């Protein structure tokens, strides 16, 4: 399995599939998952001639579980090292949820100063521009929601939280029990339990309190936002509908009645929209 040695001594696991000479598509996963969550999209686009790459963010999946660096700046800097290692240019970046924040920070922190790195981006159910109700975003999700998640980890352990989320609000199985898939819940749980405790704990602050407004304003490449209209975890009104207004070349597709886990629950539709955007 390929691992990249990062400059701070940690290691990053990544997948590099598809056509090695094809246009590169780089995927960033959501919290607390790993690159496995993008396998459907990677398999689809790999068979369309693209080079598809996905990493396990530090602290997640098969990557190192460091005590420090569990923040958006470091996530973006780690990803830049992967770009350099694989000599990636003119890439399309695709991020889901927390991974959408990682992509936005990468665009603002690195791609804005080196336009050869990225030509397009897709944000799926992304936390941009701000998820939580911090002072710059008072209408966001109350920070008490995220503190409750941390308290569940403290008192009951992460396993309980990581079973409750996919069983309920992540895929909206609480709203639509007729759609409930134990296999999908188990897959989500298994990925989540590979992550390190301190890493997922600290990442809650990173995804709920980081403001990506300036990153989006700096971005002048085409960006497609895809969001579930019934996303309970990352409400579309406070995220995607605000984010698209900050982008110079943004467009938004809202899947009516859809949940947060679009790469899984709406895989075929996401795949089709990705391919159409890549070919445009």
- SS3 assignment, position 53: strand
Which of these is catalytic: 97, 112, 167, 208? Answer: 97
Which pair of structure tokens corresponds to residue 159? 């396993």
What the block records as the tokens of 26 is: 């780089």
Active site residue 231: yes
Burial of 81 (0-12, 13-18, 19+ CB in 10 A): middle
Active-site residue, 77 included: no
For the stretch 141-148, contacts whose Cβ atoms lie closer than 8 Å and that sit 24 or more positions apart, written own/partner, are 141/208, 141/235, 141/238, 143/208, 143/209, 146/204, 146/205, 146/208
200, 59 Cβ separation under 8 angstroms: yes
User: Is 260 annotated as catalytic?
Assistant: yes
Catalytic option among 29, 55, 60, 260: 260
Choose the catalytic residue: 36, 56, 215, 231. 231
On the CB side of 240, how many CA atoms lie within 13 Å of its CA?
28
| Gap between the Cα atoms of 199 and 32, Å rounded | 9
CB-CB contact of 74 with 26 (8 Å): no
Would you name the residues annotated as active-site residues? 97, 231, 260
């Amino acid at each position: 399995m390929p691992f990249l040695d990062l400059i701070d001594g940690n290691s990053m696991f990544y997948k590099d599939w598809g056509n090695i000479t094809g246009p590169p598509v780089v995927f960033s996963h959501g919290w607390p998952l790993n690159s496995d969550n993008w396998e459907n999209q990677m398999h689809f686009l790999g068979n369309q001639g693209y080079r598809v790459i996905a990493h396990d963010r530090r602290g997640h999946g098969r990557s190192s579980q460091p005590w420090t660096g569990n923040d958006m700046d470091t996530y973006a800097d780690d990803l830049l090292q992967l770009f350099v290692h694989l000599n990636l240019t003119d890439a399309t970046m695709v991020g889901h949820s927390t991974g959408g924040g990682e992509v936005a920070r990468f665009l603002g922190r690195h791609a804005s100063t080196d336009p050869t790195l990225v030509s397009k981006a897709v944000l799926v159910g992304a936390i941009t521009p701000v998820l939580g109700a911090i002072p710059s975003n008072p209408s966001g999700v109350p920070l008490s929601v995220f503190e409750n998640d941390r308290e569940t980890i403290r008192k009951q352990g992460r396993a309980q939280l990581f079973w409750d989320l996919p069983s309920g609000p992540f895929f909206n199985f609480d709203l639509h029990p007729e759609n409930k898939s134990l296999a999908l819940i188990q897959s989500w749980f298994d990925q989540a339990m590979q992550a390190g405790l301190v890493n997922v704990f600290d990442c809650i602050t990173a995804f709920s309190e980081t403001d990506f407004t300036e990153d989006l304003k700096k971005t002048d490449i085409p960006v497609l936002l895809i969001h579930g209209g019934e996303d309970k975890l990352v409400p579309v009104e406070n995220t995607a509908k605000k984010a698209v207004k900050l982008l110079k070349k943004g467009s938004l597709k809202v899947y009516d009645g859809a949940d947060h886990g679009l790469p899984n629950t709406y895989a075929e539709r996401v795949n089709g929209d990705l391919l159409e955007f890549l070919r445009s």
